[in-house]
Amino acid sequence: MPRFVSAKPDSRLIPLPWGTPLAEWPTEHLVALPRGISRHVVRFIRVGSSVYAAKEIIEHLALHEYRLLHDLMRMGTPSVEPIGVITKRVAADGTELDPILITRHLQFSLPYRSLFAAGVKQDTVSRLVDAMVVLLARLHVIGFLWGDVSLSNTLFRRDAGAFAAYLVDAETGELHDVLTAGQRENDLVVARTNLFGDFCDLQAGGMLEESLDPLHLVDMVETRYRELWAELTGVEEFSGSELGRIESRVRRLNALGFDVAELDIQTSDDASHIRIQPKVVDAGHHSRRLLRLTGLDTEENQARRLLNDLDTFRVRTGQQHLDEAIVAHEWLTDVFAPVIQIVPNELKAKREPAQLFHEVLDYRWYQSQRENRDVPLTEATHGYVNDVLRKLPDEAMSADALAPVEGRHLVDPYDPSQGFIEAGDEEPPYDPWEAAAEDAEPDTGGGFFDVAALRAQAAAKEASKKDGKVKRSVAARIRADSAPET
Ligand SMILES: Nc1ncnc2c1ncn2[C@@H]1O[C@H](COP(=O)(O)OP(=O)(O)O)[C@@H](O)[C@H]1O
Ligand SMILES: [Mg+2]
């Protein structure tokens, strides 16, 4: 009899064929989704409308990773959510099988290979590197030594115009009260080695723009990490007449998505010199505020954007004097919810609600600029749905990256690590974000995409679809029951 170790058991998992080695599971329980390179056998399993990741791994590591992921969740660090460990698995012939660690499939997440599949530009790489560096710094701030920093062990989610990185593999991790400089250096050395390998691998596969040099990229990761760490924890000294620098420091940290829990301020005896050092910092200022006010659980940049809209709503409706929780409730029911309701059910799986709202705001902004009038939100939403959303690939489970492109089929769709049956030189999958980045006006600043360009690209894509180049049967099958609950 298998044994379930779980704080949040899902009884639908019980009847699954635990007595079968994971690699031999019947495909009726599996769902084919893209994923990173792994040491262990990893499969995505589906029960009802939930998708879990299952990893066959020796017992003490399974339990170690399960507990660490719990600790990371508790501390609010972006990582996959542990569901349980199945131990005491025995095959029909009496052989003992390794336990399976179950985590919740991170919805809307993209393994880096899917992001790179379309060929990646400098700007996107730079945003990915930033997301990765912020994740590493966040982990180090709470005393987590990763031990195996790599692109394969990181998942990315779109966060407004940027990316948010999540830790997916905690097997080698260790949690300490505080990390020493040596421990952090160790993680950096590992990061350099692994990332260099990851980037070379992408280069060999022709997925990296030619101008991007793997060595330069790992140097960039290291430099940015050091800059961020200095910003987070470094001592700053200045003269007593420059008090504004305290506020600037806090603002810079907030802008990076970190909170200053405590600022250690020391003044020299004659008050001519001030020395500041942020004490404890953790992340997610805006997303926590939005969660508290509206119950919406979003990424940091999305939260900033939504809060902006909420604050504008407050001013526009002359409710500055009211409690912000009350205004937030009104904004949610009168502004946010109607936008989401306009989206037809069959398109809901394409974007998370918060990301969708963010994109509608962009769309409205561009339309208002173009037509020199204040476009009402409802009108903009309809326009966005028809012009943009209908043409975007489905990201509910990032299954689109797997959609078979003519002439290119995985040897085993449930185990992408086995590669493709034959690697033809067909067109790479279309990524509207990449396309938008390519055509975006050079100095829009905020990293917003250009809807007109996006529309043109989408039209081109439609045309090529009519040529029958793109088949999306797998994506469509997964899409059918993956629409997020609203
Ligand atoms: N909960 C999850 N959500 C989404 N993808 C996942 C999840 N768990 C694992 N994966 C995918 O599976 C891959 C391998 O998982 P990982 O834990 O890194 O295995 P290994 O220990 O063998 O390296 C990851 O790169 C990731 O793409
Ligand atoms: Mg891994």
User: What are the pLDDT digits (tens) for 424-450?
Assistant: 444 544 554 555 545 543 333 333 333
The residue with greater pLDDT, 22 or 432, is: 22
The per-residue pLDDT for 481 is: 35
CA dist., res. 51 & res. 415, Å (int)? 16
Q: Mutation test of ligand 1: which of 42, 103, 105, 146 has the most ligand atoms closer than 8 Å to its C-beta? A: 42
CA dist., res. 414 & res. 417, Å (int)? 9
Angle at 286 between CA 151 and CA 264, to 5 degrees: 90
Tell whether the model's pLDDT for residue 41 goes beyond 60: yes
Q: How far is CA 149 from the centre of its chain?
A: 16
Pairing type for strands 154-159 and 236-239 reads unpaired
Over residues 102-110, the mean pLDDT reads 89
CA dist., res. 258 & res. 423, Å (int)? 43
The per-residue pLDDT for 442 is: 37
Over residues 160-182, the mean pLDDT reads 90
Q: What rounded mean pLDDT belongs to the chain?
A: 79
The per-residue pLDDT for 391 is: 86
Which protein residue has the closest C-alpha to ligand 1 atom 11? 35
User: What separation in Å is there between the alpha carbon of 141 and the centre of ligand 1?
Assistant: 23
Provide the pLDDT confidence category of residue 283 given band limits of 50, 70 and 90: low
- Give the lowest-confidence range in 44-48, 89-93, 242-246: 242-246
Over residues 375-393, the mean pLDDT reads 91
Over residues 269-294, the mean pLDDT reads 70
Q: Which ligand is nearest to the CA of 150?
A: 2
CA dist., res. 132 & res. 150, Å (int)? 9
- Give the lowest-confidence range in 5-19, 188-202, 376-390: 5-19
CA dist., res. 470 & res. 458, Å (int)? 14
Q: Mutation test of ligand 1: which of 55, 106, 110 has the most ligand atoms closer than 8 Å to its C-beta? A: 55
Q: Which amino acid is at 322?
A: L
Q: Which ligand is nearest to the CA of 100?
A: 1
Instruction: Kindly list the protein residues that place their beta carbon closer than 5 angstroms to ligand 2, a single-atom ion.
Output: 38, 153, 169
The per-residue pLDDT for 482 is: 39
Over residues 75-82, the mean pLDDT reads 88
Q: Which ligand is nearest to the CA of 98?
A: 1
Kindly tell me the number of DSSP H helices and DSSP E strands found in the chain: 15, 17
The per-residue pLDDT for 217 is: 92
The per-residue pLDDT for 166 is: 93
Is the Cβ atom of 106 under 6 angstroms away from ligand 1?
A: yes
The residue with greater pLDDT, 436 or 356, is: 356
Is the Cβ atom of 169 under 6 angstroms away from ligand 1?
A: yes
- Give the lowest-confidence range in 41-55, 112-126, 337-351: 112-126
Is the Cβ atom of 149 under 6 angstroms away from ligand 1?
A: no
Provide the pLDDT confidence category of residue 183 given band limits of 50, 70 and 90: very high
Q: Which of 90, 182, 193 is nearest to 149 (CA)?
A: 193
Question: What is the gyration radius of the CA atoms in the chain, in angstroms?
Answer: 24
Is the Cβ atom of 224 under 6 angstroms away from ligand 1?
A: no
90: left (phi over 0), alpha (psi -120 to 50) or beta: beta
The per-residue pLDDT for 131 is: 86
Provide the pLDDT confidence category of residue 16 given band limits of 50, 70 and 90: very high
Tell whether the model's pLDDT for residue 1 goes beyond 50: yes
Tell whether the model's pLDDT for residue 326 goes beyond 70: yes
Pairing type for strands 258-260 and 281-283 reads antiparallel
Tell whether the model's pLDDT for residue 146 goes beyond 90: yes
